[in-house]
Each structure stands twice: as C-alpha cells, then as structure tokens.
Chain A
Amino acid sequence: MTSSSLPIVLYAVPFLAALLVAVVGWYVRGSARVIAVSAMAMTATLAAAVLARVMTEGTLYTPLGGWPPPLGIALVVDRLGALMVVLVSGVASLTVTGSLRHVSQELPGRETPYYSCVLLVTAGLIGIAVTGDLFNLFVHLEVASLAAYALVAAGGRGAPRAAMAYLIIGSAGASLYLLGVGFLYAATGTLNMADEARLVATADPRLVMVGTLLIVAGLGVKMALFPLHAWMPAAYQLAPAAAASFMAPLVTKVSAYALIRVLFWVHGEALLRTGGALEILAWAGAAAIVAGGALALVEADLRRMLAYSSIGQVGVVMLGVGLANTAGMTGAVLHIASDALVKGVLFLAAGIALLRFGVSRVDDLNRLRGRAPWTGAAITVAGLSLVGVPPLAGFFGKWYVLSGALQEGRWMFVAALVLGGLASIGYVFRILERLYFAPAPEHSPPGEGSWLAVGACLVLAAGIVLLGVANESVVSTLVLPALPEVGP
C-alpha cells in the first residue's frame, strides 16, 4: 500500500466497519462484536505500520480526491500524529476486547448500535489525529462526539440526563471551535493547516487572536479543561461501564492533541506568546490540577472520582502546553500517553468491579480483596503511575512538566503540581487501602470476572510499566522529534 494512501485506509477501516455493523448487525447474530473486534485489530496493525512508515520516510501526506493543496482537504501524518494514532487504536482495541463480556451483560440486545457507535468514535478520533485541515478536524470531532453522546446515554438511571448535559455543552464547544475557524478563515482565506501557518503571521492580529481564543475555548470544552469540565463527572459515572472504559482514556486526550496541533503547527510559538493564549492555558491547567485533585479526594463514587482525576491529568497536559518549552511539551505528550493507559486500566477495572462485584463506591472495593488478585495488581500499577512513582510512566510526564515550570521560574505552577501530586496520593491510596487492607466481606462471588477484561487490564498495565522503564529511549526516538519548535 502506498504511503499516501495509508492514512486514509487507516481512517476508512473503523469507519466502514461502523457502517457494516449497522447494516449487517441486526440480521446476522453475533456479527456486531466480530466485526468490531476484527476492525479494531486491523486498525491497530495499520497504525503500527503508519508509525513505522513515518519513522523511516517522514511525514505521510494524502491529498484527498486528488486535489492539491490548498484547494483540497489533505491528510497529514507526522511523528506526533503517528504516535497518537498508535495510542488511540491500541488502547481502543484493548478496552473494546476487554469489555466484550461487559457489553453483553449491561446492554443485552443492543450490541449492534453499541459497536457501531464505538467504531464511529474510533474513526472520528483517528480522523482528528490524521487530518491536516481545520474544518475536517471539526467534522471528525463532531462525528466522534455524537457517537459518544449516544454511548453515554445508553447507561442506566440518570445516564440520559448526563448525556443531555454532555451534548449541550459539547456541541456548544464544537460551535465555538467552528467560530474560531471562521475567524481564522476570515483572516487568512485558507483552511489547510500548513497554508494557514504560512499566512497567519501576516494576517490581521485581532482576528487571529479572537479565533485562537475561540478555538482554545471550544477544544477546552471537549477536553474537560477546568472550568469547562462540568459535563465530565456525571457522564463518565453514569455511562455503561464498557463505554466509559473505552471513551474515558481517549476522547479528552485526543482533543488535547488537537489543541496542540492547532496552536503550535498553525500558529507557532512566537505568535502565541504575544496573544496570551498560552498564559490562559497554563493557568487553567494549574487550576485544573488543584481542583481535579481536591474534588477527587472527597468523592465517594469510584468512577466519578476517576473522572475528577482525569480532569486533573488534563490540567497537567495543558500546563505543559502553556509553558511551551521543550521540557513542558515533552511532559505534555508523555502525560497524554501515560494517562490514556492508566485510565484505560482503571475504568476497565471499575467495570469489572461494578459488574462482577457490584462495586460503585470506593468504600466497597474491599469486596475485591482476595478474590481479584490480577485486577488488584493492575489497579495498583495504574494507581502508582497516577501518583507518579518512578519508574512507572506517570512519573516522567509530571517530571518533565515540573522541570519545565522550574526552568521558567513559575513557582505557582510548581506549587500547583505539588498540591496535585499530594491529592493524587490521597485518593489513590484510598483505593489501595480499601483494596488490600480493609476486611473482606463474607459473601463474594467466586472467580475474578471475565478473563478478557482482566487480561486487557494486565496488558495495559504492562504498557504502563514498559513506557516508564523504556522512557528515555521513547523520549529520544519518538517524542522529541515529534514536538513542534518551541523554546529552550
């Protein structure tokens, strides 16, 4: 397959699979999950192939429809995009495979629309990662988001209301992004990201600044950046466990990546510093770290607590982006990867706990004691990575952002990171305490739960360990060449 068609095939596989599931799924029993799992596996393989190609050949480029830029929509996959694609398809395949049993338990008879929506979300996220056109980003963002609203609404009591709140806030955010793109288009006359980068320096600065701020606000809603995070806790608490384990690690992270792409590849660091967008992002990130940590600390429901923790981690990423030096950006990218893996494990394990042991509150985790050793091990690895214990992956992300903040002498940000770290110690150790030290109840169901789910948790946890241990080579070969050009 030629290099120029690889990105579009990568996008086409989950998209076509979603349509195939909708056409065939109701008429051939069990075909929905077969198509979904095989499509995910194919996507993951193609993503690895894309990464290999990008490492050897440089940026992959696909002019859709044969129209050359700036006339047509172009797909551009550089190193960062290839990293994101591998992350998305890898985590998505593992969580979807791991939650096969959960889906048939929670959503019996509704597997066809469920898997169709899951594949649509995957296709949308991959589309965001490979696109090189601002409006195309909006379309993929909305495709992924609409399917995500449907997935959240499929949960039990209270889920439709949470989905409605998510829908209204999320669509408002997407409209803000679209408005920002409109301002940029009015300023430069093009939507192609590369062309825009060329023209934006000489365009009307007021239009560009307003457009940038609107894009930041819109994507900030999508990634649940404090204070635009209100939709997230209820949505991830009440969604079906399988859907939460699939969406929570990925949707917000890909939106964060989209912001990095638009800010640094289209605008460039010099332009952003004069506009003030970076300052806003850094302060919002710091506030998110503190607020997310504090709210997670006092939360009693397990998945709601994990959602607040995610808000905190997105804050770390945005702080790294806002600092915009090499260390900060390295930390941001590493943290995107490590938090996707960590939340994949934690939400999948929360699904096991919910569906096998009936656990929805943190205090009930003692039901797993002694019964679920493998799940407990995966939770421990993920929890320690969340706290930031070396040599696990989570340490390095926070460490790079911290050194970026120290480098700039921003003591408020250092304080925010430290406070967030303390809070994460608090809530992670609450989980571990209930898991390992609280007395087990008398009656517990035997067995640990679906071996697929436990297996997926373990593979993701192994990924966390691997990313941490191999961190230096990962940073030097994959991350550093992928970064945009930023300061020291």
Chain B
Amino acid sequence: MAALLDYLVNRGPYLLFVVLAVLGVYLMTSHRNYLKAMVGLYLFQASVILFFVAIAFRVDSSIPILVPGRTITLSNPLPHALMLTAIVVGVATLGVAVAILRRIQAETGSIEEPRHEAGESGR
C-alpha cells in the first residue's frame, strides 16, 4: 500500500498523462461527430502538455520566479515556456477546426462523418 501511494505521488502525473492520451485517441477515432474528435485532439495535446510540465518538476522545488534573497530550489521554467507556445498552437488549431466545421455544416447540414467513405474515389 505504501509502495502504491509512493508510486502515485511520484509518478502520478505520468500515469495521468497516459490515461489522458489514450482517452484523447479514443475520442478522436471512435466518434463520427467531428466536434467530439476535436475534443479528443485537444485532450491528446493537453496530455502532451501535462507530460512536459511533469518533467519540469524538481523535488522540493517552488515556482520559477527569481526573488532577490530567496535560495529555494526552482523548478525548470523552460518546459513551462514551451508549453505556453504549445497551448497557443492548440487553441489556434481548434480555431481553424471550428472554422472548417462551420464550412462542413454549411455544406452538408451535419457535423458527422458520413456513413460510407468520407473521401470520393471518383470511380
């Protein structure tokens, strides 16, 4: 029991990352509704962001802001900065997806993938 708790405390974020990533992939692939697929995509991206933030943590560290006179260990700020960029990229992707979704709805009246093949084979 103690080993399990210890594992959850130290490795918990990574476990969560795996769970979220798998959930995201499931959402992306199993639903015909494009909006749900988009949510799954964003969930997958969020899990990657969580992974980066998790590797930035150092034992007994605090937020990475320099205050004169403070000597505590700081967690690594670089992944945080990278993930700001990644979050913005994710939001921009969602924005483009939303615009495309509007187009799909205007053209076909629904936001689901059609029952048969989505691409036209021209045969």
* A172 touching B120 in the complex, CB below 8 Å, given contacts A139-B89, A163-B100, A164-B101: no
Across the two chains, which residue of chain B brings its CB closest to A156?
B107
Tell me if A149 and B45 are in contact (CB < 8 A): no
Prevailing SS type, chain B contact patch: helix
Partner of A178, one of B41, B48, B93: B48
Which residues of B approach A to under 8 Å, CB–CB? 25, 28, 34, 37-38, 41, 44-45, 48, 51-52, 55, 78-79, 82, 85-86, 89, 92-93, 96-97, 99-101, 103-104, 107-108, 113, 118-123
Across the two chains, which residue of chain B brings its CB closest to A174?
B89
Chain A positions within 8 Å of B51 at CB level? 179, 182
* A168 touching B41 in the complex, CB below 8 Å, given contacts A139-B85, A149-B100, A300-B122: yes
Q: A145-160, CB under 8 A of B: which get 1 and which 0? A: 0100110010001101
A168–B31 alpha-carbon span in the complex (Å)? 13
17 A-B residue pairs with CB within 8 Å: A142-B89, A149-B96, A158-B120, A161-B108, A161-B118, A163-B100, A164-B100, A164-B101, A167-B93, A171-B45, A179-B51, A182-B55, A237-B119, A237-B120, A300-B121, A301-B121, A361-B122
Prevailing SS type, chain A contact patch: helix
Tell me if A299 and B92 are in contact (CB < 8 A): no
Which residues of A approach B to under 8 Å, CB–CB? 135, 138-139, 142, 146, 149-150, 153, 157-158, 160-165, 167-168, 171-172, 174-175, 178-179, 182, 185-186, 191, 233-234, 237-238, 299-301, 304, 360-361
Chain A positions within 8 Å of B101 at CB level? 160, 164
Chain B positions within 8 Å of A165 at CB level? 118-119
Partner of B93, one of A157, A171, A186, A360: A171
A157–B119 alpha-carbon span in the complex (Å)? 11
Tell me if A172 and B28 are in contact (CB < 8 A): yes
A431–B41 alpha-carbon span in the complex (Å)? 39
Tell me if A179 and B48 are in contact (CB < 8 A): yes
Tell me if B96 and A150 are in contact (CB < 8 A): yes
Chain A positions within 8 Å of B52 at CB level? 182, 185
* A175 touching B44 in the complex, CB below 8 Å, given contacts A139-B85, A168-B28, A182-B51: yes
Chain B positions within 8 Å of A171 at CB level? 41, 45, 93
